[in-house]
Chains A and B, each alone.
Chain A
């Protein structure tokens, strides 16, 4: 199972929006509505931002939103803040024997 494809980097100025894509296949992203997104600041534990394509855990600001179309999922960060500078990973379900396929990761820079 190959990793999901994300752009290596994305950037935006404070207050702007940035959208990160996550491209999989009809065996994972395209079939199941089980796409999640994580924010990872180096040296810290990853943090769940989005699960089930669009759901936000309690405590995650609504500036973070998820969507999906076909084999591609997306994470949008609106109203960029300095603390949003981090690595972002998507993950998708690909069946009981392959419950996680992670994306390649995207480094978001706040200019």
Chain B
């Protein structure tokens, strides 16, 4: 069974750093790209970035380039999304998802709620 299990909810202050994770199981981690998607409170889905866990090749949405960093550790089948300096506007639910084809995500994690507040 394909599963993407994300790390738990986080509360941070503005300016702090954060790294959240997405551990996959049930398939070969290096075969499919992993996408990160943001949903701000009351808003829609936004694509942030994708990574090929096999070679760590990445593509960032222009909206998120330079704002976040994604990475993957194929030794432990885990993808990461990190911030070096959080802002209040980073408060959102973040989902990882397996990119099943050219443009669709066929399996999703349960989401990680990130709250940034002073």
Q: Size of chain A's interface in residues, with CB distance under 8 A?
A: 30
Determine how close the nearest CB of chain B comes to the CB of A86; give it in whole angstroms: 13
Q: List the A side residues contacting B109 at CB < 8 Å.
A: 45
The distance in angstroms between the C-alpha atoms of A46 and B96, with both chains bound, is 10
Contact A101-B45, Cβ < 8 Å, known A34-B102, A48-B105, A92-B103: no
Q: Is the CB of A100 within 8 A of B44?
A: no
Task: Among A34, A46, A52, point to the contact of B95 (Cβ < 8 A).
Answer: A46
Q: Is the CB of A96 within 8 A of B59?
A: yes
Q: Is the CB of A51 within 8 A of B108?
A: no
Q: Is the CB of B100 within 8 A of A51?
A: yes
Q: Is the CB of B106 within 8 A of A51?
A: yes
Q: Is the CB of A36 within 8 A of B47?
A: no
Q: List the A side residues contacting B110 at CB < 8 Å.
A: 44-45
Q: Is the CB of A97 within 8 A of B47?
A: no
Q: Which residues of chain B from 20 to 79 have any CB-CB distance to chain A below 8 Å in the complex?
A: 35, 37, 44-47, 50, 59, 61-62
Q: Is A69 an interface residue (CB 8 A)?
A: no
Q: Is the CB of B59 within 8 A of A102?
A: no
Max chain B C-beta neighbours (<10 A), residue from A100, A101, A103, A104: A100
Task: Among A89, A92, A93, A99, point to the contact of B44 (Cβ < 8 A).
Answer: A89
Q: Is A3 an interface residue (CB 8 A)?
A: yes
Task: Among A45, A101, A104, A105, point to the contact of B47 (Cβ < 8 A).
Answer: A101
Determine how close the nearest CB of chain A comes to the CB of B108; give it in whole angstroms: 4
**Chain A 71-95, CB within 8 Å of chain B: the 1/0 string?**
0000000000000000001011100
The distance in angstroms between the C-alpha atoms of A105 and B45, with both chains bound, is 8
Q: Is the CB of A104 within 8 A of B44?
A: yes
Determine how close the nearest CB of chain B comes to the CB of A12; give it in whole angstroms: 21
Q: Is the CB of A52 within 8 A of B101?
A: yes
Q: Which residues of chain A from 49 to 67 have any CB-CB distance to chain B below 8 Å in the complex?
A: 51-52, 57
Give the B-binding residues of A (Cβ under 8 A): 1, 3, 32, 34-36, 38, 40, 44-48, 51-52, 57, 89, 91-93, 96-105
Q: Name the 6 nearest CB pairs between A and B, nearest first.
A: A93-B103, A36-B104, A100-B47, A34-B103, A45-B108, A51-B104
